[in-house]
């Protein structure tokens, strides 16, 4: 089931959509294995899927942390996944020159939360004509994200934007989710997404490796659907303990289908 990006804003009328995949593209075999399993379960449950994978991880705590397998190699894997399974793909960009490069391979460009106020980056993404998923900064309110939408619309009034919440900073090493932000962001007339995995991160740990609380993913996801989220963002991996990036807050792949079944029931109960 291919999600038609031209009708993305209408999908919340039927079912939530899912942005899911590994944190980072670790290799072709891993990406294809994950994509195949997620595609099968989403097809069965009639959940539109956008496959997610970062071609490069630019924001790492330690200098020796895994950052990627090579930009072009990872982007080509994303492109191949999209064509093979008939699903759109999304990846994040970090600098203006990356926008056109990534846009040649994927359907959706993602602006990381730390960079959501970077005007030139937003404008460069908008110039590609791709759908843009802007993650709300951990330091911002949902209401303030209207300015990010204004920036991309000023470049291309027809551009399709998505706003994604991933929690707000709470002290030095934790995040907290304020579900009012989803409601406030929906007022801008764009699909709103809850990032159910990054919102459970425990950043800036003394070890230099970000922690997490994946057992709470189901709670975050159910609450987001209950308040009307258009979509969910979930990073998943067959063995999070061995993942090269963000393993501490990813959902084990074998737990995803049961969670999605429960979320579909929540969705049916509120519409």
pLDDT tens for 156-204 read: 999 999 999 999 999 888 899 999 999 999 999 999 999 999 999 777 6
pLDDT of residue 34: 97
More confident call, 119 vs 60: 119
Q: Enter the DSSP assignment of 148.
A: H
Residues contacting 98, CB < 8 A, separation 6+: none
Query: Residue 28 above 80 pLDDT?
Result: yes
Task: From 55, 161, 61, 164, select the one nearest 113 (Cα to Cα).
Answer: 164
| Predicted confidence (pLDDT) per residue in 91-148, tens digit | 999 999 999 999 999 999 999 999 999 999 999 999 999 999 999 999 999 999 999 9
Query: Residue 83 above 60 pLDDT?
Result: yes
% the chain with pLDDT above 70: 87
All domains in the chain, ordered by first residue? 15-245 (3.20.20.70)
Residues contacting 9, CB < 8 A, separation 6+: 160, 189, 190, 191
What global pTM score does this model have?
Answer: 0.91
Residues contacting 166, CB < 8 A, separation 6+: 113, 135, 136, 138, 175, 195, 198, 199, 233
What is the arithmetic mean of pLDDT over 229-253? 89
Task: From 15, 18, 10, 11, select the one nearest 217 (Cα to Cα).
Answer: 18
pLDDT of residue 60: 56
Q: Where are the beta strands (DSSP E) in the chain?
A: 17-21, 49-52, 89-92, 108-111, 131-135, 161-165, 168-169, 175-176, 192-195, 201-202, 211-212, 231-237, 251-252
What is the arithmetic mean of pLDDT over 206-222? 78
Query: Residue 6 above 70 pLDDT?
Result: no
Q: Which two structure tokens, joined as six digits, stand for 223?
A: 């609450």
């Amino acid at each position: 089931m291919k999600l038609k990006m031209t009708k993305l804003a209408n999908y919340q009328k039927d079912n939530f959509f899912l942005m899911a995949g590994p944190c980072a593209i670790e290799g072709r075999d891993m990406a294809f294995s994950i994509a195949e399993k997620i595609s099968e379960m989403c097809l069965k449950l009639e959940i539109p899927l956008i496959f997610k994978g970062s071609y490069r991880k630019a924001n790492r705590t330690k200098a020796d942390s895994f950052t990627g397998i090579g930009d072009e190699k990872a982007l080509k894997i994303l492109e191949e996944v999209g064509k093979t399974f008939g699903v759109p793909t999304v990846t994040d960009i970090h600098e203006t020159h990356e926008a056109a490069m990534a846009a040649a391979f994927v359907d959706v460009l993602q602006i990381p939360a730390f960079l959501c106020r970077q005007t030139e980056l937003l404008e460069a993404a908008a110039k590609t004509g791709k759908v843009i998923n802007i993650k709300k900064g951990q330091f911002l309110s949902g209401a303030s994200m209207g300015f990010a939408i204004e920036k991309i619309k000023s470049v291309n009034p027809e551009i399709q934007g998505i706003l994604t919440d991933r929690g707000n900073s709470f002290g030095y090493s934790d995040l907290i989710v304020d579900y009012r932000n989803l409601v406030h962001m929906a007022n801008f007339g764009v699909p709103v997404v809850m990032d159910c995995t990054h919102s459970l991160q425990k950043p800036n740990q003394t070890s230099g490796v970000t922690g997490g609380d994946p057992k709470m993913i189901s709670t975050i996801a159910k609450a987001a659907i209950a308040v009307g989220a258009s979509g969910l963002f979930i990073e998943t991996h067959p063995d999070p303990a061995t993942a090269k990036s963000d393993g501490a807050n990813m959902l084990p792949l074998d737990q995803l289908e049961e969670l999605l079944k429960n979320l579909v029931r929540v969705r049916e109960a509120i519409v």
